[in-house]
């Protein structure tokens, strides 16, 4: 285990949604298992004036409901003792001066500092400017690192502008562009699955793979984030970042080593090899939809346009599906279908790889029903699973076949579930950028979605709708290349049956 140097973790937006839902719980989990360095100081920055004691009570209020069986009081006490609070309103220069004095003059704060931007994407640039202006990003006595959440910019140009402003104060090794999907165990397992098992490699190409589907569906809606989501939409929120990263891991060449640069070199090559979607071909490659009211888990839920803060004429997509081709030797002609949606019937994420049929259908006269292809499926959420569908003979006198599912659920009951943010926070403190995005990856991902963003921004008059709690909008089948390609309904055996979407 690598040793983490003493450091100060400053969280901007400490009282916000991301910090409450992800960062504070992840830090506390690390505290419980003794993975936080003894000399880690946590500094919450938020707009309101608060006393340290009040912030600590708030932290306890965030954590306690997560442990209905009772919280580890010893760990909680240790955790609370780490926290300090600093009021910092946007544009308040004096607050940054006070922050600078605090961090650089008060010995309680280790000189190595991580600044975590748990704020709205539009707020990041200003905070970096102010931190830079106050000299807080200079690595004089210790290192200084900045963590930036996705989306990085809202299109290619804005990402490049944001990057240029960061480079005024920061060097690339100081910038940690986080995509929490890369911190998920099953996502990392895609690499293990591919590169620690030789038997897959000969099959992992256009000779044997028919197409790849990457799906992320959620039952939740926008969770009070209308101000962010309505300017983002599903394409920016999920596809530009998380789903294109999953695609890169499935499709990349084996890296020279697992070092950050080698890994990211290979991912970026895949993203750059994605065939550009021209504005004329957007409708053949992309599909969007928006949820209307419906029922989820037996409860009535409002439509997107009825959510608080959403303009009544919004055409922001809450569902997006995309077909892309990777124009390189390995993947020539293989479609990759990506889709994501909010307020869908199920909450699940998976990568499903469909293989081609054998070159000769020797069993066509004896088989009952259509020829079934092989599938390999990596379930990411809600369960880490790996499944493979194969054909076997039905016992008996006739040569009938049926599909079986080899289910290699590899997560043992006793193995703890680790949230993606836990590992990623440790990586930032260790300075390991392997699971963070390099700017060229971000740019390449924006190049893929930018033409779609442009066309959708112009065509604001109509958006296909789907009822909350359904399988998404109808009509997405037009993305498929052939009639025998369709979205899998689930990872179960009957999930491969066609569905009219
Ligand atoms: C976030 C998006 O990045 O990922 C959210 O902004 C989305 O809209 C979330 O709900 C999904 O993450 P997970 O880990 O719950 O699949």
Ligand 1 atom closest to the Cα of residue 225 is 8
Question: Is 500 in contact with 487 (CB distance < 8 Å)?
Answer: no
Residue nearest to atom 2 of ligand 1 (CA): 237
Q: How far is the CA of 411 from the centre of ligand 1 (A)?
A: 22
pLDDT value of residue 23: 98
Ligand 1 atom closest to the Cα of residue 381 is 16
Residue that is last in its domain, among 97, 125, 149: 149
In-domain check, residue 64: yes
Task: Supply the CATH number for residue 486's domain.
Answer: 3.30.360.10
Q: How far is the CA of 120 from the centre of ligand 1 (A)?
A: 14
Ligand 1 atom closest to the Cα of residue 229 is 8
Q: Residue by residue, what is the 3-state secondary structure of 76-135?
A: HHHHHHHEEEEECCCCCHHHHHHHHHHHHHCCCCCCCEEEEECCCHHHHHHHHHHHHHCC
Question: Is 376 in contact with 197 (CB distance < 8 Å)?
Answer: no
CB of 419 closer than 6 angstroms to any ligand 1 atom: no
User: Do residues 102 and 213 both lie within one domain?
Assistant: no
User: Do residues 358 and 485 both lie within one domain?
Assistant: yes
Q: How far is the CA of 149 from the centre of ligand 1 (A)?
A: 12
Q: How far is the CA of 217 from the centre of ligand 1 (A)?
A: 10
User: Do residues 290 and 240 both lie within one domain?
Assistant: yes
In-domain check, residue 402: no
- State which residues form the domain around 469: 182-369+437-495
- Kindly name the residue from 84, 216, 242, 285 that is annotated as catalytic: 242
Residue 242 is among the residues annotated as catalytic for this protein: yes
Q: How far is the CA of 238 from the centre of ligand 1 (A)?
A: 7
Ligand 1 atom closest to the Cα of residue 228 is 6
In-domain check, residue 284: yes
Question: Is 377 in contact with 352 (CB distance < 8 Å)?
Answer: yes
User: Do residues 251 and 133 both lie within one domain?
Assistant: no
CA angle 114, 144, 80 (to 5 degrees): 30
CB of 441 closer than 6 angstroms to any ligand 1 atom: no
Q: What DSSP character marks residue 477?
A: G
Q: How far is the CA of 306 from the centre of ligand 1 (A)?
A: 21
User: Do residues 93 and 204 both lie within one domain?
Assistant: no
User: Do residues 197 and 255 both lie within one domain?
Assistant: yes
Residue that is last in its domain, among 96, 127, 149: 149
User: Do residues 31 and 80 both lie within one domain?
Assistant: yes
Which of 237, 291, 343, 420, when mutated, tests ligand 1's pocket best, judged by the most ligand atoms within 8 Å of its CB?
A: 237
CB of 179 closer than 6 angstroms to any ligand 1 atom: no
In-domain check, residue 426: no
What whole-number distance in Å separates Cα of residue 69 and Cα of residue 296?
28
Q: Model pTM?
A: 0.94
Successive 10-residue mean pLDDT values, the chain, 501 residues: 92 95 97 95 96 97 96 97 93 92 93 96 93 94 95 94 95 96 90 93 97 97 92 96 97 95 97 96 96 96 97 97 98 98 96 95 82 93 91 88 88 81 97 96 97 94 94 94 91 74 56
- Domains contained in the chain, number: 2
Q: How far is the CA of 92 from the centre of ligand 1 (A)?
A: 31
pLDDT value of residue 499: 59
Residue that is last in its domain, among 149, 165, 195: 149
User: Do residues 106 and 219 both lie within one domain?
Assistant: no
Which of 180, 219, 233, 418, when mutated, tests ligand 1's pocket best, judged by the most ligand atoms within 8 Å of its CB?
A: 180
Question: Is 401 in contact with 393 (CB distance < 8 Å)?
Answer: yes
In-domain check, residue 398: no
Ligand 1 atom closest to the Cα of residue 179 is 3
What whole-number distance in Å separates Cα of residue 441 and Cα of residue 268?
5
| Pairing of the two strands 7-12 and 113-117 | parallel
Ligand 1 atom closest to the Cα of residue 380 is 16
Task: Supply the CATH number for residue 133's domain.
Answer: 3.40.50.720
User: Do residues 280 and 356 both lie within one domain?
Assistant: yes
User: Do residues 356 and 218 both lie within one domain?
Assistant: yes
Residue nearest to atom 6 of ligand 1 (CA): 237
Element (H or E) spanning 482, and its range?
none
CB of 237 closer than 6 angstroms to any ligand 1 atom: yes
Which of 218, 318, 341, 382, when mutated, tests ligand 1's pocket best, judged by the most ligand atoms within 8 Å of its CB?
A: 218
320 has which bridge partners?
288, 340
User: Do residues 56 and 101 both lie within one domain?
Assistant: yes
Whose CA is closest to 217, among 377, 375, 379?
A: 379
Which of 150, 187, 233, 242, when mutated, tests ligand 1's pocket best, judged by the most ligand atoms within 8 Å of its CB?
A: 242
Q: Three-state DSSP class for 501?
A: coil
CB of 218 closer than 6 angstroms to any ligand 1 atom: yes
In-domain check, residue 350: yes
Ligand 1 atom closest to the Cα of residue 222 is 8
Q: How far is the CA of 320 from the centre of ligand 1 (A)?
A: 14
Element (H or E) spanning 411, and its range?
none
In-domain check, residue 374: no
User: Do residues 137 and 238 both lie within one domain?
Assistant: no
In-domain check, residue 501: no
Q: What DSSP character marks residue 238?
A: I
């Amino acid at each position: 285990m690598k040793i983490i140097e003493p450091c100060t973790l400053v969280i901007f937006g400490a009282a916000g949604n991301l910090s409450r839902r992800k960062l504070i719980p992840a830090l506390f989990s690390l505290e419980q298992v003794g993975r936080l360095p003894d000399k880690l100081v946590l500094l919450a920055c938020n707009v309101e004036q608060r006393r340290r004691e009040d912030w600590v009570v708030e932290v306890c209020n965030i954590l306690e409901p997560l442990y209905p069986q009772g919280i580890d009081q010893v760990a909680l006490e240790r955790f609370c003792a780490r926290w300090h609070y600093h009021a910092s309103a946007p544009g308040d220069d004096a607050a940054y001066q006070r922050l600078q004095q605090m961090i650089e003059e008060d010995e309680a704060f280790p000189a190595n500092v991580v600044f975590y931007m748990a704020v709205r994407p539009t707020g990041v640039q200003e905070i970096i400017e102010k931190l830079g202006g106050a000299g807080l990003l200079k690595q004089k006595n210790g290192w200084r690192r900045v963590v930036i959440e996705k989306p990085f910019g809202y299109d290619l140009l804005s990402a490049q502008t944001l990057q240029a402003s960061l480079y005024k104060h920061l060097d690339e090794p100081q910038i940690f562009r986080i995509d929490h999907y890369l911190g998920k165990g099953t996502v990392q397992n895609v690499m293990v699955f591919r590169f620690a098992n030789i038997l897959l490699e000969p099959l992992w190409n256009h000779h044997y793979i028919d197409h790849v589907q990457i799906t992320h569906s959620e039952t939740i809606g926008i969770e009070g984030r209308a101000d962010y989501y309505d300017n983002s939409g599903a394409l920016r929120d999920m596809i530009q970042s998380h789903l294109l990263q999953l695609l890169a891991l499935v499709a990349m060449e084996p890296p020279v080593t697992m070092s950050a640069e080698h890994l990211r070199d290979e991912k970026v090559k895949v993203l750059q090899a994605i065939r550009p979607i021209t504005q004329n071909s957007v409708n053949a490659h992309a599909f969007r939809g928006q949820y209307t009211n419906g029922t989820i888990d037996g409860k009535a839920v409002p439509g997107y346009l009825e959510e608080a803060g959403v303009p009544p004429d919004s055409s922001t997509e809450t569902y997006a599906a995309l077909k892309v081709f990777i124009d390189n030797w390995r993947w020539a002609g293989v479609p990759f279908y990506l889709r994501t949606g909010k307020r869908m019937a199920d909450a699940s994420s998976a990568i499903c790889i469909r293989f081609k049929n054998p070159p000769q259908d020797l069993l066509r006269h004896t088989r009952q029903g259509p020829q079934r292809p092989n599938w390999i499926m990596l379930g990411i959420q809600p369960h880490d699973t790996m499944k493979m569908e194969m054909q076997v003979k039905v016992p008996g006198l006739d040569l009938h076949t049926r599909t079986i599912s080899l289910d290699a659920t590899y997560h043992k009951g006793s193995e703890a579930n680790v949230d993606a943010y836990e590992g990623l926070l440790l990586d930032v403190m260790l300075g390991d950028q392997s699971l963070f995005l390099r700017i060229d990856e971000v740019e390449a991902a924006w190049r893929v979605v930018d033409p779609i963003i442009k066309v959708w921004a112009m065509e604001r008059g109509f958006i296909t709708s789907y009822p909350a709690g359904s399988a998404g909008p109808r009509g997405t089948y037009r993305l498929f290349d052939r009639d025998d390609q369709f979205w899998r309904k689930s990872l179960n055996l009957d999930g491969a049956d066609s569905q009219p979407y």
